């Protein structure tokens, strides 16, 4: 697999959303895209899989411009897991996962497709949901089924828009660890948008840190996750320590109130007795 972006840009009308995006990935790995809201993270992966058409620059998958692929051809190579899905009809979970087999199949679902769907559900620990209606799931279950559908495409490049959203801490770790293992065991590139600095630091092989529509820093977690970079991009103070060989970010709140304990106390001073209770 090979993914290359060179000086890629995207505009909404006259508004420049992305500019000069340049990076390449050619080895199996988990890449996390970080950055504040509105910097263009989702727009970036949408330009890779042609949900959006880039305004400038080049996007290459396996040395071929993505615009030269048919949508079905591109779907065989790049899988996509959106932040949320609009599917609201009462389709079963296994049938929802089987939708991911569409780029590889003809009109009929094969026994191989069904076996693969159940294997993926088991891998994600949700095989018991197979016959449940997709639109009756919890938010966390919903997110895992969407991940299963993306994996069913057998992509060389898997793009995920906040796959750990709506998951509790344990399941965030489980899914992130799974994505890291899938990248290395199945020899694919996994590109994941993430908001949790420490999840990215703990599991990513490489991190792309975005700021104002551009790449501010890119590289290994220890190269990117520095207090200086976090201050510049997020505008917050932090201390970065090393834990089990990986950076771990401790956020600091140096607001006008002082420490967090002082904030709790001083913010409550203006409340009435009823509000305090």
CATH code: domain of residue 258: 3.40.50.300
This prediction has a pTM of 0.86
pLDDT digits (tens, 9 = 90+) for 167-181: 889 888 988 998 999
Residues forming a β-bridge with 184: none
How many domains does one find in the chain? 1
Mean pLDDT score of the chain? 89
What whole-number distance in Å separates Cα of residue 4 and Cα of residue 149? Answer: 25
| Token pair in block for residue 256 | 């006008």
What whole-number distance in Å separates Cα of residue 272 and Cα of residue 263? Answer: 17
CB proximity list for 22: less than 8 A, separation 6 or greater: 5, 6, 7, 8, 57, 215
What whole-number distance in Å separates Cα of residue 122 and Cα of residue 128? Answer: 8
Residue 256 is classified by DSSP as T
Q: 211 is in which domain, residue-wise?
A: 3-276
Per-residue pLDDT of the chain (277 residues; tens, 9 = 90+): 799 999 999 999 999 999 999 999 999 999 999 999 999 999 999 999 999 999 999 999 999 999 999 998 999 999 999 876 655 567 999 999 999 998 887 678 889 999 999 999 998 889 999 999 998 888 778 888 988 999 999 999 999 999 888 788 988 898 899 899 989 998 999 999 999 999 999 999 999 999 999 999 999 999 999 999 999 999 999 999 999 999 999 999 876 555 555 555 455 544 445 554 4
User: What is the reported pLDDT for 40?
Assistant: 96
Please report the beta strands in the chain, taking only residues with DSSP state E, as ranges in sequence order. 3-12, 15-25, 29-34, 56-61, 64-65, 78-81, 157-161, 189-193, 206-211, 214-219, 237-243, 246-252
Q: Beta strand pairing status for 15-25 and 3-12? A: antiparallel
User: b/e string for 225-252 if b means 16 or more Cβ within 10 A?
Assistant: bbbebbeebbeeebebeeeeebbbbeee
pLDDT digits (tens, 9 = 90+) for 51-83: 999 999 999 999 999 999 999 899 999 999 987
């Amino acid at each position: 697999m090979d993914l290359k972006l060179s000086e890629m840009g995207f505009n909404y009308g006259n508004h420049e959303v992305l500019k000069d995006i340049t990076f390449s990935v050619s080895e199996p790995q988990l890449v996390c895209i970080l950055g504040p809201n509105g910097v263009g993270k989702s727009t970036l992966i949408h330009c890779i899989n042609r949900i959006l058409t880039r305004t400038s620059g080049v996007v290459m998958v396996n040395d071929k411009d993505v615009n030269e692929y048919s949508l079905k051809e591109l779907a065989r190579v790049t899988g996509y897991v959106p932040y949320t899905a609009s599917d609201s009809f009462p389709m079963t979970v296994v049938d929802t996962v089987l939708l991911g087999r569409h780029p590889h199949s003809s009109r009929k679902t094969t026994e191989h497709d069904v076996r693969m769907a159940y294997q993926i559900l088991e891998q994600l620990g949700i095989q018991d949901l197979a016959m449940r209606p997709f639109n009756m799931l919890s938010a966390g279950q919903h997110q895992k089924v969407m991940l299963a559908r993306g994996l069913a495409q057998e992509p060389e490049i898997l793009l995920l828009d906040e796959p750990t959203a709506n998951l509790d801490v344990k399941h965030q770790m489980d899914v992130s660890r799974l994505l890291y293992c899938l990248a290395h065991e199945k020899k694919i590139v996994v590109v994941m948008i993430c908001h949790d600095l420490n999840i990215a630091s703990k599991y990513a092989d490489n991190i792309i840190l975005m700021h104002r529509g551009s790449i501010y820093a890119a590289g290994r977690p220890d190269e990117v996750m520095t207090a200086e970079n976090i201050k510049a991009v997020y505008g917050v103070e932090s201390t970065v320590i090393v834990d089990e060989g990986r950076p771990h970010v401790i956020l600091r709140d140096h607001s006008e109130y002082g420490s967090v304990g002082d904030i709790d106390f001083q913010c409550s001073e203006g409340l009435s007795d009823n509000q305090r209770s």
